[in-house]
C-alpha cells in the first residue's frame, strides 16, 4: 500500500452502538469534533438519560409542552410528520410499546395483551402538538413517549458528513452501527467507487455477505437479527408493528436502502421492512434515486430495478 492509500480509522462506543470514522489523511481534530458532536446529540436525544431533552418531553406527556433546542425540535417535527404519513409502519410514537417489550434491554417475556392494548392507545402521531414559534413539543396524553431510535442515527450520519465537508475533507466513511454514509471518491480504487459490505443474516457457510459497489451514498439496513429474543421457535425482534403492538411479522429478514440522505434511508428501511419483498420492491422502484436489497427468510436476495447484479452477492449501484 502506498502512502496515498492509508486509512485512518477511529472507533468509539456511543449511543448503544459502535461508531467508526474512516479518513484517508490523519486529522485528529475533526475526529474529536465529531466525537463531541455525537456526545452532545446523545445528551439531547438519549432515552437512557433522564435529563435529555427528549426525556423531558416524554416526562411531561399529558402535562404541558416542553421547549427544546431547534435541532431537537426540527428532527422531532420531521420524524412525527413521517410517522403521520407512514402510520402503519414507521412511527416514532411507539415508545410505550418499545418500553413494554424491552427487546435488547433484558426483556424476555411477552407482555400481557391488556398492557399492549394500553400502550398502543398512546402511539397516535396526531396526538403531538408541535409549536414552531416556541420550539415546543407536547405529547397530549400521559404515558405517550417519543422514541427516535429508528431515525436519529441517519440524521447524525448526514450531519457528520456535512461537518467533514465543512472541514475541507474530501473522502470519508462514517458508520453508525451499520448505518453507513460515504463522502467523495474512494482514493483506494481506480474508479473512485466504494464497496460497502452488508452483513447477511444467518448466512450459510461459504455464502458471501452482500456487497454494493457505489459512488458516495448511504447504505442503511433494518433487520431483525440485531436485537431480539427467542421463546421456543418464535423470534421476538425490535421492530414493532404499530397496528398490533407485536414485532412485525413479515416474510423478510432484512432490507438495505441505498440513497443519498441517511435520515430518509432510515425511514424507508423501516417502511420497506413492513412491506416485505413484493410490495417493498414495487414501492422503492417508484421512488427516484433510491434502491433496496431485501433478504427473505430463505436467504433469497431481491433487489429493486436500478441495481445491477455483478456477481454472486455483489451489486452495482451508481
For residues 298 and 212, give the distance between their C-alpha atoms in angstroms, rounded to a whole number: 21
Nearer to ligand ADP, 150 or 293 (CB): 150
- Is 263 an interacting residue with respect to ligand ADP (CB under 6 A)? no
Q: Which does 111 bind (CB under 5 to 8 A by kind): Mg ion, ligand ADP, none?
A: none
Nearer to ligand ADP, 171 or 261 (CB): 261
- Is 222 an interacting residue with respect to ligand ADP (CB under 6 A)? yes
Contacts of 288 (CB under 8 A, 6+ apart): none
Integer CA distances (angstroms), 6 to 11, 30, 238, 294, 316, in order: 16, 17, 38, 33, 25
Integer CA distances (angstroms), 274 to 89, 91, 119, in order: 6, 12, 20
- Choosing from 53, 158, 263, 266, the residue that interacts with ligand ADP (CB under 6 A) is 266
- Is 238 an interacting residue with respect to ligand ADP (CB under 6 A)? yes
Cell of 224: 431483525
Q: Which does 98 bind (CB under 5 to 8 A by kind): Mg ion, ligand ADP, none?
A: ligand ADP
Burial class (CB in 10 A: 0-12, 13-18, 19+), 106: exposed
- Is 226 an interacting residue with respect to ligand ADP (CB under 6 A)? yes
Q: Which of residues 159-218 bind ligand ADP (CB under 6 A)?
A: none
Q: Is the dihedral of CA 119, 156, 67, 74 positive or negative?
A: negative
Closest contact distance (angstroms) between CB of 262 and ligand ADP is 11
- Choosing from 53, 124, 147, 291, the residue that interacts with ligand ADP (CB under 6 A) is 147
Nearer to ligand ADP, 149 or 313 (CB): 149
Amino acid at each position: 500500500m502506498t502512502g496515498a492509500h492509508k486509512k485512518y480509522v477511529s472507533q468509539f462506543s456511543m449511543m448503544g452502538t459502535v461508531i467508526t470514522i474512516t479518513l484517508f489523511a490523519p486529522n485528529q481534530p475533526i475526529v474529536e469534533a465529531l466525537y463531541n458532536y455525537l456526545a452532545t446529540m446523545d445528551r439531547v436525544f438519549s432515552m437512557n438519560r433522564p435529563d435529555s431533552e427528549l426525556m423531558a418531553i416524554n416526562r411531561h406527556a399529558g402535562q404541558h409542552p416542553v421547549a427544546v433546542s431547534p435541532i431537537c425540535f426540527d428532527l422531532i417535527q420531521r420524524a412525527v410528520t413521517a410517522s403521520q404519513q407512514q402510520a402503519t409502519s414507521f412511527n416514532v410514537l411507539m415508545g410505550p410499546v418499545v418500553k413494554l417489550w424491552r427487546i435488547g434491554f433484558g426483556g424476555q417475556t411477552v407482555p400481557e395483551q391488556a398492557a399492549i392494548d394500553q400502550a398502543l392507545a398512546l402511539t397516535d402521531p396526531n396526538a403531538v402538538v408541535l409549536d414552531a414559534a416556541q420550539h415546543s413539543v407536547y405529547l397530549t396524553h400521559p404515558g405517550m413517549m417519543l422514541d427516535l431510535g429508528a431515525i436519529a442515527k441517519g440524521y447524525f450520519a448526514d450531519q457528520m458528513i456535512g461537518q467533514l465537508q465543512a472541514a475541507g475533507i474530501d473522502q470519508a466513511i462514517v458508520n453508525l452501527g451499520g448505518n453507513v454514509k460515504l463522502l467523495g471518491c474512494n482514493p483506494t480504487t481506480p474508479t473512485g467507487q466504494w464497496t460497502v459490505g452488508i452483513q447477511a443474516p444467518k448466512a450459510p457457510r461459504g455464502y458471501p455477505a452482500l456487497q454494493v459497489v457505489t459512488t458516495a451514498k448511504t447504505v442503511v439496513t433494518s433487520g431483525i437479527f440485531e436485537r431480539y429474543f427467542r421463546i421456543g421457535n418464535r423470534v421476538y425482534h425490535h421492530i414493532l408493528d404499530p397496528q398490533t403492538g407485536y414485532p412485525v411479522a413479515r416474510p423478510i429478514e432484512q432490507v438495505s436502502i441505498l440513497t443519498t440522505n441517511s435520515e430518509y434511508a432510515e425511514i424507508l428501511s423501516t417502511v420497506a421492512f413492513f412491506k416485505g419483498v413484493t410490495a417493498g420492491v414495487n414501492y422503492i422502484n417508484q421512488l427516484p434515486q433510491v434502491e433496496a436489497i431485501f433478504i427473505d427468510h430463505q436467504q433469497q436476495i431481491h433487489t429493486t430495478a436500478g441495481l445491477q447484479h455483478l456477481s454472486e452477492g455483489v451489486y452495482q449501484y451508481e
